[in-house]
Amino acid sequence: MGITNYRFVFAIGLSGLLTMAATPPGDLSAGVKAYERGEYSAAMKIFKPAAEKGNADAQFNVGVMYSRGHGVEKDVQEAFKWLRAAADQGQVHAEFMVGQMREKGVGVAPDYAEAQRWYQMAADGGDADGAIGLAMLFEEGFGVEKNPARAVHWYRLAADQGLAEAQFRLAVMIELGRGTKSNLEEAARWYARAAEQGFAMAQTRLGMLYLEGKGVPQDNHKAYFWLTLATKQDRRVAERQRSALIAKLTADEITKYEVEASHWRARVLSPKSANTIQ
């Protein structure tokens, strides 16, 4: 069974996290906590003065809030201004978002060369989102010469940092032999790592590999388990595959696997960080 060549589209403002990483503990924490309570105006009153004084993390937070329209009227041009100010100070999350906005032409004219430059800076600073953004440019050949091998390099760096999207994309490249030698066993391992973080497309593909016995031993139990988890996130491909598998299982097996999937979902839910907004 084939595999779709997915391309992720980052959503401006959704990938960003309000942060206080580069400031002493407590400097922005009150604003972060206010934001988490939905008190956006109160949060902005804390972040904006610090941003105007040059605090890079506060500038990032203000930019994210303008991009989301939280506590202020949504204004992507204003968002870009504050994010660019933070990026100019080396705030890596801002560097990524500036690259993203330059790629998509949000709040500023699109420019792939600028997108590559900012993604590169974010990736060099250890930002996994920057690495995956750069990888996607090289995979698709947007503004740069298409280079699957370089795409694999950057996907792997982001995947090694635990970014589920990168783990999935790396698995796709390895499975299809793009920029690297095809290796179904290695691809399955990366699909599993992304699936274990709740990434639906990886769960679907891993379930299909277990169903077909490709890269992993054929196992209807594990196939049903992962396909069930994917259907909980409205993955229609997974639903179709699971429906075909149901005919091969007993009612007791189906009940057992459904319960296992429900328990897994409850167990892997990660607690929110006290300092970031998801």
pLDDT value at residue 119: 94
pLDDT in tens, 18-40: 655 444 434 788 999 999 999 99
66 with 78: CB under 8 angstroms? yes
Sequence ranges of the domains in the chain: 16-110, 200-268
Spatial neighbors of 5 by CB under 8 A, at least 6 apart, are 172, 176
CATH class belonging to 16-110:
mainly alpha
The ranges of the chain with pLDDT < 50 are 1-16, 21-26, 269-271, 273-278
pTM for the whole structure: 0.78
pLDDT value at residue 236: 79
pLDDT value at residue 19: 58
pLDDT in tens, 139-162: 999 888 999 999 999 999 999 999
* Cα maximum dimension of the chain: 65
Long-range contacts of 245-252 (CB under 8 A, 24+ apart): 245/211, 245/220, 248/220, 249/220, 249/224
Q: How is residue 162 annotated by DSSP? A: T
